[in-house]
Amino acid sequence: MKDIVMVRSVGKFEKIVRDLLEYPHEQEWFEFKQDWDEPNGIGEYISALSNAAAFHGHEFGYVVWGIDNQTHKVTGTSFSPDKDVRHEPLQHYLARQLTPDTAFAFHKINFSGRQIVLLEIAAAKSVPVSFANVRYFRIGSSKVVLTRFPERESELFQILRNGQPTLSNTEAPKQDLSFEKLFVYYVSRGISLNRRTFKKNLGFLLPSGKYNLLGQLLSDNSGLSIRFAIFSGKDKTSTMYSVREIGNTCLLYSLDKALELGEILNVPQADERNRVVERKEIPLFNADAYREAVINAFVHNRWTDYNSPMFCVYSDRLEIISHGALPPRQTVQGFFDGISIPVNRELSDVFLQLHISERTGRGVPKIIGAYDKGIYRFGENTISLVLPFEKLKTGELSRQSPADGQVDAQVDAQVDAQVDLRTFQILKYCALPKSMREITAFLHLKDRRTVKRIIFPLIKRGQLAMTIPDKPNSRFQKYITIK
């Protein structure tokens, strides 16, 4: 038996419980109970939660007695870990049947005026933990026998041997990779990559010399589909106007395309309320919140599962869905407070280098400052963000604004028309060399980032050229159409 008494204050255990209560429902590495006290069942849960904690990268798994699973109400408990099982202390009875020796400890806590019991279980280390020679696991909210799920068992063994899968230690399914788009993108940010050393410098290679998943994501063809779907109604049973495929290219271009589609979608509405001289324009949603949400979805998505973020536009809202849960050592409150713990540190480093993100933790606070915490939904394996549309009533709109029911029908046409129109305008305008400032003013745009997202694909396609190609960030740089 390996008994560990944690050197922590009661306040630390209270914080653990409060952090667990922040989740909208149980995760695979913790469980809420009330007065349940079946000894063998407790042993099975120690095995299941120890293995699940290791699987998800957490240091501990937990069982908490005295909290209602559905309402999260603190009810208190009559369960006592000091009971005997056939004249043997419960903790001895449990420890004797755990293989290998596994650290666990019960803690009695006075919480909100009621007694609760916290069972803290160390995550499995080298091999899965079994109870009475059976290995258990958690899938969703169910405790299962691990051997009945050989794929999960194999994945758990891989994690115990090699650690959590990351973009840098996961071999890319595609190995025939090219990076021309990446070079163009870096040039657009004023950074020149060394063609001889960029793979090593950016961390694209495994020790074997093969490409890792980070290399594939930033290659010319990431092989991962990302979709921007537009529906006419409030759910997926309504008519789908279109699905825009923005994946299967360098991930940086997919990110720019998602940001561009959001700008096009954000139809301004002319507000006639309380008008005196000038009318106000009201966007459908907060543009800054959308930008932060898109960047977060890309940098925190669990790419190692080969799932991509998805964008769904409905008549009343826009949903951004990324795969994966909060990273280990992150709490729900810490997430909302802006404590930055990247899921994909390697990708976050690239975004930081390119000044796409700051890694200051301001993103989520900015989003909930514009809306509130309720726009986030934490699923078992997804994090969703819902941006509600601020649609004015028909009588509050000017005649130039689209009516409520027309907004959705116009979106797809706007995506094609505006992108094609801007491309045409730039190529015509740049018959003589023009600077970025001149092009931005010509298009009546405020943000040069939008212009860059149009210009650099044109350079890639050979339709536009820099006048000073060896100094892409020169203040004298201009752009000219190639005839």
Cβ burial of 352 (10 Å; 0-12, 13-18, 19+) is middle
**Element at 190 (helix H, strand E):** none
Residue 74 clears pLDDT 90, i.e. is over it: yes
Cβ burial of 425 (10 Å; 0-12, 13-18, 19+) is middle
What is the reported pLDDT for 392?
Answer: 59
402 or 205, greater pLDDT: 205
Nearest Cα neighbor of 10 from 111, 122, 133, 147 is: 111
Q: Which residue has the tokens 């100094």?
A: 471
410 or 316, greater pLDDT: 316
- Dihedral of the CA atoms 12, 15, 17, 18 (nearest 10)? 170
251 or 240, greater pLDDT: 251
What is the reported pLDDT for 408?
Answer: 44
Distance, CA of 6 to CA of 13 (rounded, Å): 10
What is the reported pLDDT for 394?
Answer: 47
HSE-CB of 167 using CA atoms within 13 angstroms: 25
pLDDT tens digits, one per residue of 140-187? 889 999 999 999 999 999 999 989 999 999 999 999 999 999 998 898
Distance, CA of 232 to CA of 241 (rounded, Å): 7
DSSP structure class, residue 363: H
Residue 28 clears pLDDT 80, i.e. is over it: yes
* Rg of the chain over all Cα atoms, to the nearest angstrom: 27
> For the residues 424-431, what does the mean pLDDT come to?
84
Tokens of 223: 């092989």
Residue 261 clears pLDDT 80, i.e. is over it: yes
Residue 6 clears pLDDT 90, i.e. is over it: no
Residues contacting residue 326 through CB under 8 Å, at least 6 positions apart: 332, 335, 378, 383
What is the reported pLDDT for 402?
Answer: 44
Distance, CA of 224 to CA of 187 (rounded, Å): 24
Tell me what percent of the residues of the chain surpass a pLDDT of 70: 89
Give 88-95 contacts, CB < 8 A, sequence gap 24+.
90/39, 90/42, 91/3, 92/1, 93/39, 93/43, 94/39, 94/42, 94/43, 94/46, 94/131, 95/1, 95/2, 95/3
> For the residues 418-447, what does the mean pLDDT come to?
80
What is the reported pLDDT for 10?
Answer: 57
From residue 42, give the alpha-carbon distance in Å to each of 1, 49, 463. 16, 10, 67
In the chain, what are the domains?
10-162 (3.30.950), 227-408 (3.30.565.60), 430-483 (1.10.10)
Distance, CA of 439 to CA of 445 (rounded, Å): 9
pLDDT tens digits, one per residue of 290-314? 999 999 999 999 999 999 999 999 9
What is the reported pLDDT for 397?
Answer: 45
What is the reported pLDDT for 157?
Answer: 96
Q: Residue 201, SS3?
A: helix
pLDDT tens digits, one per residue of 186-206? 988 888 899 999 999 999 999
pLDDT tens digits, one per residue of 129-145? 999 999 999 998 899 99
Residue 249 clears pLDDT 90, i.e. is over it: yes
What is the reported pLDDT for 287?
Answer: 92
What is the reported pLDDT for 274?
Answer: 57
pLDDT tens digits, one per residue of 323-380? 998 888 888 888 888 887 888 999 999 999 998 987 777 889 999 999 999 999 988 7
